[in-house]
């Protein structure tokens, strides 16, 4: 086979693995493909079964990843034709609506319509809708969304972009990760195009920057971002940022940026509760046209608890596995499909009570003292760690956690969470200790 084509395909696969495509989806679908030939901007791809080709063609975000990555690698907008054996099977081409989204780098799948709202994300969702709906006013500027991996921050950010563009396609909207921002900035210096870079970013109506925590250790990029931010802010242009932590706990982030971020609207997304996970799976399976029985949806939702990206990956794996084996989706096929990935839930549930017991043992503090009003450091700090763990490892709201610690209010829990998050970042041994304690809570040690 053409070595250049093989090389291109290898680069595509390794780029794809850096995206949000889950390892399960990658193994189940993309790894099975192989390139045949590249002819007149059309890439012919072999798929072992029509199901795999169909699955990829019907999924707009997979399409987007393919278009984006090949565009970067070849500087061309390729079309793709899938073949099963030698028979033409299916193809997709880039439409003008796609081009608009492509300019803004928005994923067509991430809209408010496809976002399931539950207790864990309702505030972040409401804030995002309000920002999108009143763009001109830029009342909450910046909107800063933070939370753990795979919980929907990027999705909400894109949804804001879609809402704005659907209402007015002339608006200048741009989504970038902080890594892309950094790379473009560095390239602009290298190629003497810094003015162009500045003009591009500073003329946006809506700038969406994902994973902003990654610019914190890059001083010159941070400086550039600071000026971009100020200019957009002064012109009442909306900025939306996401991060894995709140602004004041991002290590090495300059204090002038912390105060600007905190001056906008800061909202968090927590891991979804069971009901929300079920609703997400139902919505995804309906959207993909999968007929998944309720008991299987419940089963998957119970297996995959903390991360929505993994939840989606598990659903894809179950449907693919069922179709390729028995042809029907049942609890039996689902548990076989997931058996290597998720051990049966034999661990104990994580609750504030169980956390307090472990903390009490490790720090030699009584359970009564953890709930008491005592503020000596030897009691207050273990209490703060227990609150942090309750926030980090359970679905409970701040209010509920406060209640279980002797009726404290939610701001005390936020304060404890932020303080301990910062300590965890700066102190690897505390981080390790918390991991060990959580394993004890789960009964694994
Ligand atoms: N509430 C939701 N409803 C429907 N789908 C969701 C929801 N939240 C997340 N998802 C889906 O889960 C996947 C991961 O979400 P997303 O990429 O937005 O997470 P993230 O918080 O930005 O993660 P990371 O920190 O890793 O970048 C996406 O496919 C997204 O569509």
The answer to whether the CB of 337 is under 6 A from ligand 1 is no
Atom of ligand 1 nearest to the CA of 158: 18
The answer to whether the CB of 125 is under 6 A from ligand 1 is no
Q: Give the DSSP letter string of 39-52.
A: ETTEEEEE-SSHHH
Atom of ligand 1 nearest to the CA of 157: 18
The pLDDT value recorded for residue 127 is 96
CB 22 within 8 A of CB 310: yes
Distance from the CA of 386 to the center of ligand 1, in angstroms?
Answer: 27
- pTM for this model (two decimals): 0.63
The answer to whether the CB of 153 is under 6 A from ligand 1 is yes
The pLDDT value recorded for residue 61 is 74
Q: What angle do CA 233, 238, 240 make, to 5 degrees?
A: 110
Cα–Cα nearest to 350, from 438, 428, 278: 438
The pLDDT value recorded for residue 90 is 46
Atom of ligand 1 nearest to the CA of 109: 31
| pLDDT (tens place) for every residue of the chain, 445 residues total | 578 898 999 999 999 988 878 888 888 889 888 898 888 888 888 888 777 777 777 776 787 788 888 888 887 778 888 777 655 444 444 445 555 556 678 888 899 999 999 999 999 999 999 999 999 887 899 999 999 989 999 999 999 999 998 898 889 999 999 988 998 899 889 888 889 899 999 999 999 999 999 999 899 999 999 999 999 999 999 999 999 999 999 988 999 999 999 999 999 999 999 999 999 999 999 988 888 999 999 999 988 887 899 999 999 999 988 888 878 888 888 988 888 776 544 567 889 999 999 999 999 999 999 999 999 999 999 999 999 999 988 888 899 999 999 999 999 999 999 999 999 888 888 988 898 898 888 876 6
What is the best residue among 17, 19, 20 to mutate for testing ligand 1's pocket, by most ligand atoms within 8 Å of CB?
A: 20
Task: Report how far residue 425's alpha carbon sits from residue 16's, in angstroms, rounded to the nearest whole number.
Answer: 29
Task: Report how far residue 188's alpha carbon sits from residue 186's, in angstroms, rounded to the nearest whole number.
Answer: 5
The pLDDT value recorded for residue 415 is 95
The pLDDT value recorded for residue 210 is 95
**Binding-site residue ranges:** 150, 152-154
The answer to whether the CB of 288 is under 6 A from ligand 1 is no
Angle at which helices 428-441 and 377-393 cross, to 10°: 70
């Amino acid at each position: 086979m053409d070595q250049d084509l093989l090389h291109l395909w290898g680069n595509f696969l390794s780029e794809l693995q850096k995206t949000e495509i889950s390892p399960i989806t990658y193994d189940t679908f993309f790894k099975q493909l192989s390139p045949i030939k590249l002819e007149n901007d059309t890439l012919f791809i072999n798929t072992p079964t029509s199901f795999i080709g169909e699955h990829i063609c019907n999924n707009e975000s997979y399409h987007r990843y393919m278009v984006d990555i090949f565009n970067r690698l070849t500087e061309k907008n390729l079309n793709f034709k899938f073949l099963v054996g030698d028979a033409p099977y299916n193809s997709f081409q880039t439409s003008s609506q796609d081009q608009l989204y492509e300019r803004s780098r928005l994923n067509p799948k991430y809209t408010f319509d496809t976002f399931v709202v539950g207790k864990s994300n309702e505030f972040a969702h409401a804030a995002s809708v309000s920002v999108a709906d009143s763009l001109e006013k830029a009342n909450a500027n910046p909107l800063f969304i933070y939370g753990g991996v795979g919980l929907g921050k990027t999705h909400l950010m894109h949804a804001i972009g879609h809402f704005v563009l659907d209402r007015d396609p002339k608006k200048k909207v741009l989504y970038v990760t902080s890594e892309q921002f950094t790379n473009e900035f560095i390239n602009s210096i290298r190629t003497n195009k810094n003015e162009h870079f500045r003009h591009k970013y500073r003329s946006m109506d809506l700038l969406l920057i994902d994973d902003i925590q990654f610019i914190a250790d890059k001083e010159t990029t941070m400086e550039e971002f600071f000026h971009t931010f100020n200019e957009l802010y002064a012109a009442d242009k909306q900025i939306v940022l996401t991060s894995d932590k709140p602004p004041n706990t991002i290590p090495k982030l300059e204090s002038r940026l912390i105060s600007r971020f905190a001056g906008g609207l800061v909202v968090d997304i927590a891991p979804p509760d069971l009901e929300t996970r079920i609703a997400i799976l139902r919505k995804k399976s309906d959207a993909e046209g999968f007929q998944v029985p309720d008991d299987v949806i419940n089963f998957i939702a119970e297996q995959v608890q903390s991360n929505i990206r993994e939840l989606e990956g598990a659903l894809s794996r179950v449907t693919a596995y069922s179709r390729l084996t028995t042809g029907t989706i049942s609890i039996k096929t689902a548990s076989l499909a997931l058996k290597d990935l998720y051990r049966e839930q034999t661990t104990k549930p994580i609750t504030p009570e169980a956390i307090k017991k472990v903390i009490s043992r490790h720090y030699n503090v009584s359970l009564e003292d953890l709930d008491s009003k005592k503020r000596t450091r030897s009691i207050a700090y273990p209490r703060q760690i227990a609150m942090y763990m309750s926030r980090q490892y359970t679905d409970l709201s701040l209010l509920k956690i406060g209640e279980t610690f002797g009726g404290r209010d939610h701001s005390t829990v936020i304060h404890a969470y932020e303080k301990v998050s910062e300590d965890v970042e700066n102190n690897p041994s505390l981080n390790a200790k918390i991991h060990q304690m959580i394993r004890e809570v789960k009964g694994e040690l």
